[in-house]
Amino acid sequence: MEKKRVVITGLGALTPIGNSVDEYWNNLIAGKSGADFITKFDAGLFKTQFACEVKDFDPLSIMDRKEVRKLDPFSVYAMATAQEALADSNIDLEKVDLYRAGVVWGSGIGGMKTFQEECFNYKEGDGTPRFNPFFVPKMIVDIAAGHISIKYGLKGPNYVTVSACASSTNALIDSLMLIQLGKCDFIISGGSEAGVNIAGVGGFNALKALSTRNDNPKTASRPFDSTRDGFVLGEGSGCLILEELEHAKARGAKIYAEVVGGGLTADAHHITAPHPEGLGAINVMKLSLEDAGMKPEDIDYINVHGTSTPLGDIAETIAIKEVFGDHAYNLNISSTKSMTGHLLGAAGAIEAIACVKSIENDIVPPTINFEHKDESIDYNLNLTLNKAQERTVNAALSNTFGFGGHNTSIIMKKYND
């Protein structure tokens, strides 16, 4: 069967550098860091005392106080971006088949804050097992998709993908395939995460995964710099409306870009470290190109996983050179995590949005905070260091990799009828 074409018709973003798509994009291009000292709890005794938090967001702007109490922050963030993306798409839900409309979301952890609070409350109590009746419905990772479908009456496929930091790219690829196969007309997809809490920071500190640059948090996320010492934890959400092309055209939708391919692989190597030769990353980029029916030279921009970890940044540049050959030196490559921090399961969604906006505006956001060269990295690659660059972006590829060896890669390009 001939696969259906899939386009992006709506965007929503809630990030450490902007609470809307426009604010997020403008701050990406300006090279603004979202890192600062943690305000959500007293981190004074932690090895890492900073993060990329969502700022000045009022949940009451999208739902009433009673509803907010029933949701973990990761679900609140999801609801906020779904609302923005649906409004942006201009879909009239009274004129579409709701049985062919789905929600495929991504989150690596889900309701960690809720789990933490309920455990603390029990420990600090008198031993009587008193738990919030919403404990489980707030905590479970699938609930974000459930809330979105309930609010908007969407009765098609409804689930959450969990593949650590690859989760929301996994969700986007699943959505792409469902629409390509004719199972849905449109899908609300993306991801959300709210891991800036005691358990999140403490757990990643124990893994020695986080930067400890407490003297200057805004420069702590520094992909490709020889002094990088770990990632900066972020939080937030990104949402994209993926829609079957003819369905979008029939209602006169604005089309941002076309989603043309995706790849999924595993390193099968280590629970937290990437394969040193980037084998999983090599294979996933090759698969995404094959799925899209594209050649390496068709790609103009790669939004890399680029977490600012000692091993990961090297492995990804090795993989890019292996897949793209000489064309690797014609690409723009950048890590927007240098500005947003690492949103874990939501990273792929906000980075896909960055790719879409790059395609729309022909601008590549920078990799900020670069100062010192690493002898293990090839700087003949255009890593878009410290300043955004204007160039024609006909096609962009986004990589996200997760603990457990999960690799995902998705390709978007300018829409041509």
Which two structure tokens, joined as six digits, stand for 29?
């291009």
Residue 84 backbone dihedrals phi, psi, to 5 degrees? -65, -45
> Is 406 annotated in the active site?
no
* HSE-up (13 A, CA, CB side) for residue 365: 32
C-alpha dist (Å) from residue 320 to 55, 282, 392: 34, 7, 20
The one-letter amino acid at 56: D
Q: Is 132 helix (H, G, I), strand (E, B) or coil?
A: coil
What DSSP designation does 334 have?
A: E
- Name the catalytic one among 147, 247, 275, 342: 342
Which two structure tokens, joined as six digits, stand for 177?
């395939």
Residue with token string 């849905």: 184
Question: C-alpha angle 304/297/366, rounded to 5°?
Answer: 35
**Gap between the Cα atoms of 165 and 108, Å rounded:** 6
**Gap between the Cα atoms of 33 and 18, Å rounded:** 11
What DSSP designation does 206 have?
A: H
Q: Do 144 and 74 meet the contact criterion of CB atoms below 8 Å apart?
A: yes
Contacts of 272 (CB under 8 A, 6+ apart): 207, 209, 403
- Name the catalytic one among 147, 247, 275, 305: 305
> What stretch of H or E contains 246?
helix 245-250
Which two structure tokens, joined as six digits, stand for 106?
């991504």
> Is 355 annotated in the active site?
no
Cα dihedral 195, 227, 277, 331 sign:
positive
**Gap between the Cα atoms of 367 and 360, Å rounded:** 19
Which two structure tokens, joined as six digits, stand for 78?
């999801």
- Would you put residue 404 in left (φ > 0), alpha (ψ -120 to 50) or beta? left
Cα dihedral 139, 171, 18, 253 sign:
negative
- Name the catalytic one among 52, 147, 165, 406: 165
407 forms beta bridges with 265, 401
Instruction: Count other C-beta atoms under 10 Å from residue 116's C-beta.
Output: 17
* Active site positions, annotated: 165, 305, 342
